[in-house]
């Protein structure tokens, strides 16, 4: 009798442990496994956008096209554009933003967009005159190419205005759209890029 009771209690304990494991990990997946996000809805509307990266053999910008989700708010659309820049080139072009960069906020006032980044934009930036110019120009021109009414860009870091990224490009004033840095064989129809605008200053 005691043996039967022992067997029953043992089976009950095994069943309890198995039940707890089932609740915590119902599909018996490794703990480090992450479920992939669901695919976008089939009826999701996409739009073609232009983003700019650096060129390998010259200090200019070159365009790449992307298909991103259509957004009702321009602020959300700009967020997607910046994420594409952070993700980097798909064709071997030079990145213009550190991959650790995060966009914290977007504010549009008239024809000016204010982008607020985390500290990684500065901490992980390589610095140098050309690199800083490419970063600033790629951001400003990407916004202006896709939202033509946006002509000026203000760059902030963690909610505060910055005078420069790494000591070369003056960011104390808004940077104006200027497509003179875009390679001339680019297919994008720029705004009025016949003459450079008075934007950034170099130290």
What are the tens digits of pLDDT across the range 4-45? 545 544 544 444 444 433 323 222 323 333 334 345 556 789
Confidence at 58, pLDDT banded by 50, 70, 90: confident
pTM exceeding 0.75: no
Output the pLDDT for position 61: 96
- Closest by alpha carbon to 68, among 48, 44, 39, 92? 48
- Across the chain, what does the average pLDDT equal? 80
Tokens of residue 43, six digits: 């009826």
pLDDT digits 0-9 by tens, 132-169: 999 999 999 999 999 999 999 999 999 999 999 999 89
Whole-angstrom distance, CA of residue 50 vs CA of residue 68: 10
How far lies 32's CA from each of 22, 29, 60, in Å? 17, 8, 42
Phi, psi of 160 (to 5 degrees): -120, 145
Phi, psi of 30 (to 5 degrees): -60, 145
Output the pLDDT for position 201: 56
Of residues 122 and 57, which shows the higher confidence score? 122
Cβ atoms within 10 Å of 108's Cβ, excluding its own: 16
- Rounded average pLDDT over 103-114: 98
- Closest by alpha carbon to 9, among 21, 20, 25, 17? 17
Whole-angstrom distance, CA of residue 178 vs CA of residue 159: 25
- Rounded average pLDDT over 74-80: 98
Phi-psi region of 159 (alpha: psi -120 to 50; beta: other; left: phi over 0): left
For the chain, what are the domain ranges? 46-202
pLDDT over 50 (residue 192) = no
Output the pLDDT for position 59: 84
- Tokens 């902030």 sit at which residue? 156
How far lies 171's CA from each of 6, 18, 174, 175, in Å? 77, 61, 7, 7
């Amino acid at each position: 009798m005691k043996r039967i009771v022992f067997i029953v209690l043992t089976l009950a304990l095994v069943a309890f442990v198995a039940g707890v494991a089932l609740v915590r990990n119902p599909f018996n997946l490794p703990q480090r496994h992450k479920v992939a996000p669901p695919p976008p809805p089939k009826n999701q509307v996409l739009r073609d956008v232009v983003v700019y990266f650096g060129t390998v053999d010259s200090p200019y910008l070159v365009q790449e096209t992307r298909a991103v989700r259509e957004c009702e708010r321009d602020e959300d659309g700009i967020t997607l554009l910046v994420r594409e820049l952070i993700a980097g080139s798909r064709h071997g072009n030079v990145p213009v933003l550190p991959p650790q960069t995060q966009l914290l906020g977007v504010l549009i006032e008239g024809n000016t967009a204010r982008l607020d980044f985390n500290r990684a934009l500065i901490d992980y930036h390589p610095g140098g005159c050309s690199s800083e110019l490419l970063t600033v120009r790629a951001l400003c021109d990407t916004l202006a190419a896709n939202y033509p009414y946006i002509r000026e860009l203000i760059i902030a870091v963690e909610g505060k205005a910055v005078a420069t990224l790494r000591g070369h490009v003056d960011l104390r004033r808004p940077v104006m759209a200027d497509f003179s840095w875009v390679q001339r064989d680019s297919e994008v129809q720029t705004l009025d890029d016949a003459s450079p605008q008075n934007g950034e200053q170099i130290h």
